Amino acid sequence: MRIMLIIFLSFLFWSVNFPSLADTGTSLDISRIIYSGRTMGMGGAHVALSNDGEGIFTNPSGLAGIEFPQFSGLTRKILLEETIYTLYGLAFPTRWGTIGFGYANSYISGSPPTMRDPGTERIMIDPSGYATNYENGVIMLTYARKLPWHKISVGCNLKYFSQSINTIQLIDSATGTNLDLSASYQPLPYFNLGINFQNTLSNTVNWSKTSEKIGGYTKIGAALNLLGENNGEALYQYPQSVVACLDLDLPRNILSPIPLLHFGLEWSPSKMLALRAGLNQQTSGIGLTFGVGLQSSAYRFDYAFAQIPGVLGDNPHYFSISYVGDRILSTKEKFKRAEPDIKFLSPKDRSLTTSQLIHIKAELKARKVYEHKNIWTVPIFETTSEVYEVQSSPVDLINGRYNDYPINQTGTVEVFTLLDPGRNVIKFSGYTSPEGALVSSEVRILRIIPYQDVPIDYWVIDSITLDSILGLIKGYPDNRFKPEKGITRAELTALLARTEKIDLERWQKVKKFTDVKDKWYVPYINFGAELGLVTGYPDKTFKPDKILNRAEGVAILSRFARLIEKEGLAFPDLKLAFWANKYIQPAKEAGLLKHLEGKDFEPNKPFTRSEAAEVLYRTEPIQRRVNAFWDYGIIK
């Protein structure tokens, strides 16, 4: 921030101490004394507060921060329309910076010449002169943008002057061009500095027989947000806002060498009302100024009382209307649907049980879903919107039903039901209101007769049960599963082969291995070898009764799941260059080894039948079949 302040002060020093860019000026730049109602009500202090369309005339760099298009227009009439002041400013923010247009004009119609009465020293009409019509106008093209440096903006005005005079004896006109350069710097969120270097070029306005130099001022200003609602953007947080501004006009090459001070305060007790006061120093003295601003949405009306010291008959009333922009938020909401919020407290969905009669407890609630639309409107210019869904708080369902039977309960309901062997679907439904939508939800329960040696609370009861229902794994004739028994190569191959459609008679006749014949597993091994799920040994044997260790079993199931080989140390007890690492790492990443989380892998440990059922159950192909069973009762 210190570097930025040094740059800003260097520019200020240059603008004050090097006035040789323009010669002594005699032509009046009307844009220096005509401002809109807000600025006039604050004593002409606006260089560091140029955050609206008035910045075109006071400090164009301030326009770099505007969010909305800006427009200002002012009129002031003196002595029954003898002198008319007009002012127009228009600025548009774009992706390349802010572009603006300004026009200021003073027109004196039929003004009689004056003189001092030699006897009384009072000002009187000079009968020897001729009435004069005089017009002085300037057109400005403005550009401003923020720099990539910290809180610095720059701006400029390209100015075209046009003046004319009309009397009985003389009709003449003059034109000329010049350039304003300006900068703004915000060292703190609530403090801003500004500088406007007016008429930097040594140009003139050229009449038919003579010319006049164009002088100017170096206008320096500071603005402080004393009070404000937004924390951090004002010196003190307060529901109302107060802004103080101080400007110093340093003459550069004009007839009057006197520096001029401008001070202003703006108090906004609400967004709609602003009260202003200021001190306006001119070469002829210091005058008090007062003003009021009324804002409704994107439009602002400003009135200022600002009498010019030393000008007799001055009409001090300024009226301006401005478009300052605003993003107005409006909302619309309409009902779209009702969504069930039925919670089954017991049993949980996809539960296994051995009981015929079970107790069901559930909360019958729903949520209403609305389409919420936010509409942001910038009056005149654009409208944007955002649409999203919102949900109401849960509401109790009425006219509740259990498997299409009415129940006289609301909120938390409890029923007893009989289960058939196999998959059972229990459905609850109800209405959000007498005229509302029907919503429903269901819980799925599987009633089973487990293997003798696999109790209902066994650690992989779900895996063994679902693998068995899908026909992938089978128990022994005595209704035992032997879950802790090591699985053989033949058993695991059969388990994988059953995941596909297999012609047992055909593959029974194939002879792939010398030690695979006349056994129940022959077609499964031949089919599994054909699919590449298993391989034999170099001596043409398969060793079907060999019990697999954990590394071998996981490797086979990793290939079955078509996981991409990947090296890595998935478990702390594995060694580098271990042959099965490329199968174990992807298996862990795919979630097949959740039962080993936080444990060693122990690659040489026997791969049990229960562990094989668990790893197979978690492979993606089997999970698809498991979901199809729970959702639709499909087994094959």
Structure confidence at residue 165 (pLDDT): 85
For residue 149, give the nearest of 98, 189, 184 by alpha carbon: 184
Structure confidence at residue 31 (pLDDT): 83
Structure confidence at residue 69 (pLDDT): 93
Write out the two tokens for 508.
């029974």
Contact status, residue 600 vs residue 571, Cβ threshold 8 Å: yes
Write out the two tokens for 58.
């006071």
Structure confidence at residue 428 (pLDDT): 94
Structure confidence at residue 131 (pLDDT): 58
Average pLDDT of the residues in 60-84: 80
Give per-residue pLDDT as tens, 542-577: 999 999 999 999 999 999 999 999 999 999 999 999
CA distance to 36, 41, 226, 306, 377, per residue, from 273 (Å) = 17, 14, 17, 19, 22
What is the distance between the alpha carbons of residues 489 and 346, in angstroms, rounded to a whole number?
A: 41
Phi, psi of 393 (to 5 degrees): -65, 155
Q: Which domains does the chain have, with CATH numbers?
A: 2-325 (2.40.160.40), 330-447 (2.60.40), 461-632 (no CATH)
Answer whether residue 374 shows pLDDT above 70. Answer: yes
Task: Please report the sign of the dihedral spanned by the C-alpha atoms of residue 37, residue 38, residue 41, residue 44.
Answer: negative
For residue 350, give the nearest of 467, 450, 459, 443 by alpha carbon: 443
Answer whether residue 515 shows pLDDT above 70. Answer: yes
Answer whether residue 17 shows pLDDT above 60. Answer: no
Output DSSP code: residue 120.
Answer: T
Average pLDDT of the residues in 446-454: 95
Structure confidence at residue 121 (pLDDT): 55
Structure confidence at residue 1 (pLDDT): 43
Answer whether residue 13 shows pLDDT above 70. Answer: no
- Beta strands at 236-237 and 216-228: parallel, antiparallel or unpaired: parallel
Give the residue ranges of DSSP H helices in 534-619.
Answer: 550-560, 581-589, 609-617
Express as a percent the part of the chain with pLDDT over 70: 90
Structure confidence at residue 122 (pLDDT): 54
Structure confidence at residue 23 (pLDDT): 34
pLDDT band at residue 219, thresholds of 50, 70 and 90?
A: very high
Lowest pLDDT segment from 25-39, 353-367, 590-604: 25-39
Give per-residue pLDDT as tens, 130-153: 557 888 999 999 999 999 877 899
Q: How many CB atoms lie within 10 A of CB 626?
A: 19
Lowest pLDDT segment from 24-38, 311-325, 400-414: 24-38
Answer whether residue 78 shows pLDDT above 70. Answer: no
Give per-residue pLDDT as tens, 79-112: 455 568 889 999 999 999 999 999 999 887 765 5
Mean pLDDT of all residues belonging to the chain: 88
pLDDT band at residue 170, thresholds of 50, 70 and 90?
A: confident
pTM of the model as a whole: 0.62
Answer whether residue 253 shows pLDDT above 50. Answer: yes
What is the distance between the alpha carbons of residues 371 and 171, in angstroms, rounded to a whole number?
A: 70
- Residues whose CB falls within 8 Å of the CB of residue 162, separated by 6 or more in sequence, listed in order: 135, 137, 138, 139, 173, 174, 175
For residue 245, give the nearest of 268, 224, 267, 226 by alpha carbon: 224
Write out the two tokens for 7.
């740059």
HEC assignment per residue over 371-388: EEEEEEEECCCEEEEEEE
What is the distance between the alpha carbons of residues 98 and 261, in angstroms, rounded to a whole number?
A: 29
Answer whether residue 114 shows pLDDT above 80. Answer: no
Average pLDDT of the residues in 234-259: 90
What is the distance between the alpha carbons of residues 407 and 534, in angstroms, rounded to a whole number?
A: 56
Q: Which residue matches tokens 């602002």?
A: 300
Residue type, 62: G
Answer whether residue 370 shows pLDDT above 50. Answer: yes
pLDDT band at residue 231, thresholds of 50, 70 and 90?
A: confident
Answer whether residue 448 shows pLDDT above 50. Answer: yes
Average pLDDT of the residues in 462-485: 94
Structure confidence at residue 504 (pLDDT): 87
Average pLDDT of the residues in 105-127: 63
Average pLDDT of the residues in 334-355: 94
Contact status, residue 194 vs residue 48, Cβ threshold 8 Å: yes
pLDDT band at residue 350, thresholds of 50, 70 and 90?
A: very high
pLDDT band at residue 435, thresholds of 50, 70 and 90?
A: confident
Lowest pLDDT segment from 89-98, 109-118, 336-345, 463-472: 109-118
